[in-house]
Amino acid sequence: MRLAFLGTPHAAVPVLEELVRAGHDVAVVITRADKKRGRGSSLLASPVKFAAQSLGLNVAHSLKDLGAYDVERGVVVAYGALIPAALLEQVPMLNVHFSLLPRWRGAAPVERAILAGDHETGVSIMAIEPTLDTGPVYATARTSIGEKTAYELTEELAHVGASLLREVLRDPQALASPKAQEGEATYAEKLTKEDFHLQPAMTLVEVARTVRLGRAYFFVAGRRLRVFEGHEGNGVGARGSLTRKDNDVVMGTGDGNYVLDVVQPEGSRTMRAHEWWSGARLDASTAMWG
């Protein structure tokens, strides 16, 4: 099948690679324009653009460029923008969405599923409509969430989605008979920086879930500390307290203790939490996080 592919982040790459591996003719890959890297002037290509160039595929940065290619369908994976209705009338498109629709329509389905404490999630292959993630579904696949991080879960769903899309595209009956979404819709709004901010008012469960998103942080002694890994500890510490017990750095949440494992102080490298504590020279009797 002659296809256009629309996507941007690393999570979209397995689907693109699977389409090529399955023998589809990917006529063009549309992804975001290169971005400036850091404070310098060098430009950084999106993960999808890098993969497309490695595969020898045509790359474009605007939906307007799609008109130059005669394609049967478009495949969209985390492209990052709504597709105009006029374009959908010209090119029918399938979306590989990382949730069990209609639950978690929107920009951050994996993160919202973790924060909500969902036991399972999955992938939905759906037809794209002008409205947000409302199209009928061709196929779904489920997976348990457990204690997976957002990165781990996204990686898994990317590969599950690639396999599921391959099956849909080679099944004319599946392509001809998508089913309307059923059930209560929920919306996965894009996360803001504050959504990753660990606060003393959070419960132990909320702290642990937020850390699993991969960008958690809090402030101690006026400086930001990013938290990459941690685990539930024993006992219950005072809410907002930060202490060292033996070789553990422990956050008190009021209903439990959360042990920091891997952190990154502001302006420094990633390190074990006890290394950071030794260098921070905090008073264990007065140190607070928030």
The owner of tokens 């709004």 is 189
User: What's the mean pLDDT in 228-240?
Assistant: 94
Q: Work out whether strand 105-106 and strand 25-30 pair parallel, antiparallel, or are unpaired.
A: unpaired
Model confidence at 99: pLDDT above 70: yes
Share of the chain above pLDDT 70, in %: 98
- pLDDT, tens only, 110-146: 999 999 999 999 999 999 999 999 999 999 999 999 9
Average pLDDT of the chain, as a whole number? 95
Q: Work out whether strand 59-60 and strand 25-30 pair parallel, antiparallel, or are unpaired.
A: parallel
Contact 145, 153 (CB under 8 A): yes
Q: Which long-range contacts (CB under 8 A, 24 or more apart) does 234-243 make?
A: 239/200, 239/201, 240/200, 240/288, 240/289, 240/290, 241/287, 241/288, 241/289, 242/282, 242/284, 242/287, 242/288, 242/289, 243/284, 243/287
User: Token digits for 243?
Assistant: 């202490």
User: What's the mean pLDDT in 256-273?
Assistant: 96
Helix axes 150-169 and 13-21, enclosed angle (nearest 10): 30
User: Token digits for 229?
Assistant: 């890994």
Determine how many CB atoms are found less than 10 A away from the CB of residue 279. Answer: 11
User: Token digits for 74?
Assistant: 């478009």
Contact 125, 181 (CB under 8 A): no
The C-alpha atoms of residue 154 and residue 35 are separated, in whole angstroms, by 23
What was the pLDDT predicted at 35? 84
Angle CA 263–265–271, to nearest 5: 40
For the domain covering 193-280, report its CATH number: 3.10.25.10
Are 2-188 and 193-280 equal in CATH topology?
no
Q: Work out whether strand 137-144 and strand 120-127 pair parallel, antiparallel, or are unpaired.
A: antiparallel
What was the pLDDT predicted at 140? 98
Q: Which residues contact 104 (CB under 8 A, 6 or more apart)?
A: 112, 113, 121, 186, 187, 188
- pLDDT, tens only, 35-57: 877 666 688 899 999 999 999 99
Share of the chain above pLDDT 90, in %: 89
What is the domain partition of the chain in residue ranges? 2-188, 193-280
CATH assignment of 2-188, among 3.40.50.300, 3.40.50.970, 3.40.50.170, 3.40.50.880? 3.40.50.170
Contact 276, 282 (CB under 8 A): no
The C-alpha atoms of residue 37 and residue 215 are separated, in whole angstroms, by 19
End-to-end Cα spacing for the chain = 53
The C-alpha atoms of residue 64 and residue 17 are separated, in whole angstroms, by 24
198 SS3 class: coil
Q: Which amino acid, one-letter code, is at 9?
A: P
Among 43-52, 225-234, 281-290, the least confident range: 281-290
214: enclosing H helix or E strand: none
Q: Which amino acid, one-letter code, is at 34?
A: D
Residue 4's beta-bridge partner residues? 28, 74
